[in-house]
Amino acid sequence: MRKRYAAICLLLWSVLPLAGCWDSMELEQRGFVIGVAIDEGNAPLHPNHTNGKQSFKVTFQEVIPAGLKQEGGSGSSLAGESYFNVTLEGKTMLSIIAKMSTMTSRTPFFEHLKLIVVSEKVAQSDYGFANVLDYFLRNNDARRNVSVMVAKGEAKSVLSTVPQGEKTPVMFIQSISKNQDTYRMVPETRIGDIHEYLLKRQSFVIQKVTSKDSSISLIGGGIMDGIKNNLVGFMDEMETAGFNFLREGIRGGVLEVDVGDNLVAYKVEQVSRRVNTDLSDPSNPKFTIELWVEGSILEAFERRDYLEQPTIEEIEAKVNESVQRLVNETLNKTQNQLKRDVLGVGNHLKERHPGVWKQLEQEWDTGRNYFANSDIQVKANVEVRRIGSVNNTERR
């Protein structure tokens, strides 16, 4: 009998911990933040306050789960219902998020964060860029594959673009940046990779997003300085293309070349590169970047017999020229104008010639700037592999 009472008591006692689950949180209480846009706030509240040099105006994009559901075709076109944006100001991300909890019905939750947009101004300020990313790296909700982009102008407006074919602006931007067939955009820059560049003190290129009248474009890229970790300039469409060729970042893309009097469109399929280094004078390294470009002809207005070797060779030479032109623009931008090594030649030295790198490391893209003074030659080998399904479309 006593044993039975003891058992009942034990059972009742075991109910106690059930009520006290600290971490129980219903799904309905979580607010899933999928995008964050960070702009510069108004002037610091106290000018001589040393801890908070900067304040930020942060916009959060939260999804409304009910709005994301497909309801039999009806109502799904109302894109405005599937997300909302909240903008708040503060000095640290954490304090801003704490403020946010007082204003939205759900607790913000970053596990599904997809995109962080940093405004041009914040990215340009000294160390501001790394400061705003600290929270998202330190907090273990967010993953290391969150995309980070720099907005030309205001970041907030990027999150207010009208999504086309997607439910929310963030998903829209995400699916654009995943498109494979252009070299005018920089490949996705993940926060994990950026963390790596920041720790390596290496200059890098970051995705750029421009919003204009509720439409956006991801053409171009931002160049970040490796020492101060701030934005030093933007690359335009052509410079980005050249950059993608140089970094093997090509995921497809089209080069239009003049053959005869007409255009032929060459589709780039694959680029591989090899860097050859000449270190006969260690303080003035010479690099030869060899590129192997492979692709096919997918559109041709010039009527020729494309099954003839000379025709193919002519096109290859023309494509080669235009690759050279793109690459030279990029070299001009990075070596002569901005003097920042985003091409990874410094990293190549570090990997292959660590001894030489030790000597040059400190003043690679600052001070004496060995990078800007190094001699970089690009040699492209273009191959036309295929010509498509027909030889010619009409007879002239």
| Phi-psi label, residue 95: left if phi above 0, alpha if psi -120 to 50, beta otherwise | alpha
Residue 386 binding other proteins, by CB under 8 A: no
DSSP, res 81: G
Bridge partner list, 259:
262
x/- site string to other proteins, residues 1 to 40, per CB under 8 A? --------------------xxx-----------------
Number of residues that bind other proteins (CB under 8 A): 16
Least distance to other proteins, CB of residue 25, Å: 9
Least distance to other proteins, CB of residue 155, Å: 25
Residue 195 binding other proteins, by CB under 8 A: yes
- Residue found under tokens 């010509």: 387
Least distance to other proteins, CB of residue 58, Å: 22
Residue 196 binding other proteins, by CB under 8 A: yes
Question: Which CB, 35 or 295, lies closer to other proteins?
Answer: 35
Residue 359 binding other proteins, by CB under 8 A: no
Q: Name the strand (E) or helix (H) holding 32.
A: strand 30-40
Least distance to other proteins, CB of residue 135, Å: 15
Nearest CA among 85, 234, 53 for reference residue 151 = 234
Q: Which one of the spans 91-99, 240-248, 312-320, 351-359 is the region binding other proteins (CB under 8 A)?
A: 351-359
Residue 368 binding other proteins, by CB under 8 A: no
Nearest CA among 342, 375, 193, 352 for reference residue 274 = 352
DSSP, res 190: B
Instruction: Scan residues 96-155 and list those touching other proteins (CB under 8 A).
Output: 140, 143-145
Instruction: Scan residues 151-190 and list those touching other proteins (CB under 8 A).
Output: none
Buried b (16+ CB within 10 A) or exposed e, 319-346: bbebbbebbebbbebbbeebbbbbbbbb
User: Chain centroid to CA 97: how far?
Assistant: 24
Helix (H, G, I), strand (E, B), or coil: what is residue 361? helix
Least distance to other proteins, CB of residue 375, Å: 23
For binding to other proteins (CB under 8 A), which residues are involved? 21-23, 140, 143-145, 192, 195-196, 199-200, 350-352, 354
